[in-house]
Amino acid sequence: MRKKLLLINGPNMNMLGIRQPEIYGSDTLGTIENLTVERARELGYECECFQSNYEGAVVEKIHEAYGKVDGIVMNPAAFTHYSYAVADAVSAVAIPTIEIHMSDIHSRESFRRKSVILPYCIGQVAGLGKESYAVGVERLVDYLEGRSHV
């Protein structure tokens, strides 16, 4: 069986390159997905990419991943702070998941500082811009291959 990761991006991530470039940079989601897929490939993993602005679509994608992927790299975006549905989906499938954010959510507005999803993840990477994706993949692969407990 091929080793496989799933990259999930939540709402408004499709607007990267346009949305607040002073916070998120000028790269598009497509560019970041390509960089993420390439880093996964370098580490011996395939990586499927998915983005949705709809909470139910993200929940369904997590459910569909059950038994099909080894790990999930997820930037839940705004769902981070309030989506118990996404948190419950991550908990239900028990697929090792790492939460990532381009910005440092811990130094932004108070509502952004809490993640309802993190308790069901193996860890979180935040504040590294587009590099959060590569670092997230690296930490997840280290976890999957028993080199780290993140």
CA distance 143 to 39: 16
Task: Out of 24, 45, 120, 133, pick the active-site residue.
Answer: 24
Note the pLDDT of residue 150.
67
CA-closest candidate to residue 133, choices 100, 104, 95, 103:
100
Catalytic residue among 45, 101, 120, 133: 101
24 is catalytic: yes
Predicted TM-score (pTM) of this structure? 0.94
pLDDT tens figures, 20-75? 888 888 899 999 999 999 999 999 999 999 999 999 999 999 999 999 999 999 99
Burial class (CB within 10 angstroms; exposed 0-12, middle 13-18, buried 19+) of 115:
buried
Q: Give yes or no for residue 108 having a pLDDT over 80.
A: no
Q: Please, what are the domains in the chain?
A: 4-73+113-144 (3.40.50.9100)
Q: Supply the pLDDT for residue 15.
A: 94
